[in-house]
């Protein structure tokens, strides 16, 4: 174990927290590791909405290139940022035990406005999934784009004349910056693989594959695998309001997947409950049900709207 594993990471506080977690876990298994910070396009352009950048892989591309070019040995990502089609020569070698899954609302002066049907609230998020689900529940509200890392977004919320902003609970809680003025959105279905961390390496690097295999959490890998299969079958990414969540209880895998139109008016949901040992194909079958309900029409409309924008 003389080799020092070079772990590539973005430079945000959350990304560094995730990479340090992988380093700590590897160290506990007797592997030496060091962090190598890499800038990503998603961190450099903090103005353009994600869905206008051509998002798939926006936060992973720079690390993927560093991995392929052997500048690093391992890349650590939030799994929800990772495209379902990986670059040739790269594999997801370990999916860590999942953290908090839900989204939460960070508000300024309370949440009473949510019960006032006449009030036009101003809510910030750059996620099309969150926007669509929010508009389905609160069609009168105005949505605003919010980019940047977790701390930047919290600062932006404080400085703008908005009522609240939506965040992933995992992002705020992992680095200890979740404000007291926040509430979990139990009704909002998360992004596929939200709350999960993945460590990728080169396909031909058996040393790192063996090292990372010790960190893999089987239950999380099964659940996120089903969610990402649902996403892949619908050909979705950050440019499509697709949500999915799977969990295992008493040996049964319970799955819920959803596709929304951009304005939230149209919403299609598919649910499944299968033995966890027979989970393979569950996401694909649920996605096929969505497409049969007319999901292909919704996806085509979203694609056309993006091309005309």
Which residues belong to the active site? 81
The β-bridge partners of 257 are: 244, 270
Q: Residue 72's closest CA among 35, 40, 17, 41?
A: 35
Contacts of 304 (CB under 8 A, 6+ apart): none
> Would you give the end-to-end CA distance of the chain in angstroms?
53
Of 159, 191, 154, 241, which Cα lies nearest the Cα of 79? 191
Compute, in degrees rounded to 10, the torsion defined by CA atoms 17, 23, 24, 30.
180
Query: Which residues does 212 contact at the CB level (< 8 Å), separation at least 6?
Result: 26, 74, 93, 94, 199, 201
Radius of gyration, alpha carbons of the chain: 19
For residue 179, the SS3 value is coil
Structural contact between residues 130 and 240, judged by C-beta atoms closer than 8 angstroms? no
What is the dihedral angle through the alpha carbons of 292, 79, 58, 308, rounded to the nearest 10 degrees? 20
């Amino acid at each position: 174990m003389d080799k020092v594993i070079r772990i590539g990471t973005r430079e945000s506080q959350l990304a560094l927290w995730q990479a340090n977690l992988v380093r700590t876990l590897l160290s506990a298994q007797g592997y030496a590791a060091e962090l190598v910070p890499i800038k990503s396009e998603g961190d450099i352009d903090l103005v353009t909405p994600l869905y206008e950048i051509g998002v798939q892989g926006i936060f992973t591309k720079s690390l993927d290139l560093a991995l392929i070019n052997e500048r690093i040995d391992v890349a650590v990502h939030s799994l929800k940022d990772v495209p379902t089609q990986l670059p040739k020569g790269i594999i997801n070698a370990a999916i860590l035990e999942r953290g908090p899954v839900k989204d939460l609302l960070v508000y300024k002066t309370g949440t009473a406005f949510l019960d006032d049907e006449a009030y036009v609230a101003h809510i910030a998020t750059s996620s099309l999934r969150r926007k669509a689900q929010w508009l389905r529940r609160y069609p009168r509200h105005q949505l605003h784009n919010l980019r940047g890392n977790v701390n930047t977004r919290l600062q932006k919320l404080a400085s703008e004349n908005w009522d609240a902003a939506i965040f992933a609970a995992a992002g705020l809680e992992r680095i200890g910056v979740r404000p007291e003025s926040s509430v979990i959105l139990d009704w909002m279905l998360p992004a596929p693989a939200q709350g999960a961390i993945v460590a990728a390496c080169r396909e031909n690097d058996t040393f790192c594959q063996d090292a990372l295999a010790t960190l893999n959490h089987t239950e999380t890998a099964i659940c996120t695998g089903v969610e990402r299969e649902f996403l892949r079958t619908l050909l979705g990414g950050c440019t499509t309001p697709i949500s999915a969540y799977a969990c295992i209880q008493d040996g049964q895998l319970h799955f819920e997947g959803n596709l929304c139109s951009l304005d939230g008016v149209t919403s299609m949901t598919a649910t499944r409950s299968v033995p966890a040992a027979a989970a393979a194909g569950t996401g694909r079958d649920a996605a096929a049900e969505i497409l049969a309900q007319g999901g292909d029409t919704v996806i085509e409309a979203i694609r056309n709207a993006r091309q005309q924008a």
